[in-house]
């Protein structure tokens, strides 16, 4: 049973993970951290989190383990590597992967965790750095209903729109739907801002009119102002969006689906990355439209 005295292990404290772990720490949970670069964890360690020198060491300390890493290959390493979680985790541990990853990998983690009398749930998030900082992320969960209910108090520290979507892998499939929607929308946001500029309008005033109407979207409200200011710092990396879109296209192809909007967005973002922008925020896409 999870209580506020349960020890939480957190692996991955990047742009979003750091803020997510901080909410858990601020709520009074004992938090143990492992990241590949200890320096990235220092803000949390300075606030009372404990450092663990390896995944193996963390696995032996935590009742609940949250992973928020970059790519499916990173997820595989964290869970299935020689020193990975599933080789050292204690029976009864809750494993929560909040990375956007492959649905098939989420199912594999669930199956292997079950063999070890552990509980696994895939719970990718949406909301970027702003949602992570404010604790207002959308959390899309896949796994057993009892596991979801058990970890829900932890989810409520990080997000506000928290929905159990179904069995193992359902959270990942839902996140891919999210990314497919954003992919085409980002093209429209960029084109709208450039159009406003070319028409001699004040783009910020245009946003005041259109963000609350039928055109409204999270990207329009949160990323378009950054585009106008020339702020391309990452709330979500271009390279990670490329990863997500690639997974979505592969999953769609497995189901026999055509995704022309997603295909175009991936093509444009790859072009952007080739221009040296892979570590910029996704709002940097507008650079391709400015002539």
Nearest in space to 223 (alpha carbons), one of 279, 283, 281? 283
DSSP string, 183-240: HHHHHHHHHHHHHHHHTT--HHHHHHHHTTSTT--HHHHHTHHHHHHT----SSBHHH
The two three-digit tokens of residue 288, written as one number = 């391709």
The gap between the terminal CA atoms of the chain, to the nearest Å, is 58
Measure the CA angle with vertex 267, ends 200 and 241; round to 5°.
90
Check 156, 175, 198, 287 and give the catalytic one.
175
262 burial type by CB count under 10 A (0-12 exposed, 13-18 middle, 19+ buried): buried
What does the DSSP 8-state code read for residue 118?
Answer: -
Strands 50-51 and 31-34 come out as parallel
Nearest in space to 16 (alpha carbons), one of 281, 226, 225, 229? 281
275 is catalytic: no
Nearest in space to 121 (alpha carbons), one of 105, 144, 104? 144
What does the DSSP 8-state code read for residue 289?
Answer: T
Strands 8-11 and 31-34 come out as parallel
Residues annotated as catalytic (active site), given as ranges: 175
């Amino acid at each position: 049973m999870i209580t506020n005295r349960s020890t939480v292990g957190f692996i991955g404290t990047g742009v979003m993970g750091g803020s997510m772990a901080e909410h858990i720490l601020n709520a009074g949970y004992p938090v143990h951290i492992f990241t590949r670069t200890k320096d990235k964890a220092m803000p949390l360690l300075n606030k009372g989190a404990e450092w663990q020198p390896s995944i193996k060491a963390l696995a032996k300390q935590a009742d609940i383990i949250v992973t928020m890493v970059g790519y499916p290959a990173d997820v595989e390493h964290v869970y299935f590597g020689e020193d990975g979680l599933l080789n050292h985790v204690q029976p009864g541990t809750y494993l929560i992967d909040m990375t956007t990853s492959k649905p098939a990998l989420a199912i594999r983690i669930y199956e292997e965790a079950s063999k070890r009398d552990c509980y696994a749930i895939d719970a990718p998030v949406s909301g970027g750095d702003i949602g992570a900082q404010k604790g207002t992320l959308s959390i899309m969960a896949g796994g057993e209903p009892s596991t979801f209910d058990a970890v829900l108090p932890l989810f409520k520290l990080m997000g506000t729109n928290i929905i159990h979507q179904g069995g193992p892998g359902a959270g990942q499939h839902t996140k891919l739907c999210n990314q497919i929607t954003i992919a085409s929308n980002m093209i429209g946001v960029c084109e709208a801002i450039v159009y406003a500029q070319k028409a001699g309008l004040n783009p910020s005033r245009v946003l005041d009119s259109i963000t609350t109407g039928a055109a409204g979207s999270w990207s329009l409200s949160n990323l378009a102002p950054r585009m106008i200011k020339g702020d391309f710092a990452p709330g979500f990396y271009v390279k990670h969006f490329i990863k997500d879109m690639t997974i979505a296209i592969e999953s769609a192809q497995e189901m026999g689906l055509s995704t022309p909007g997603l295909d175009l967005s991936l093509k444009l973002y790859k072009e952007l990355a080739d221009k040296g922008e892979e570590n910029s925020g996704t709002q940097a896409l507008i650079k391709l439209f400015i002539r």
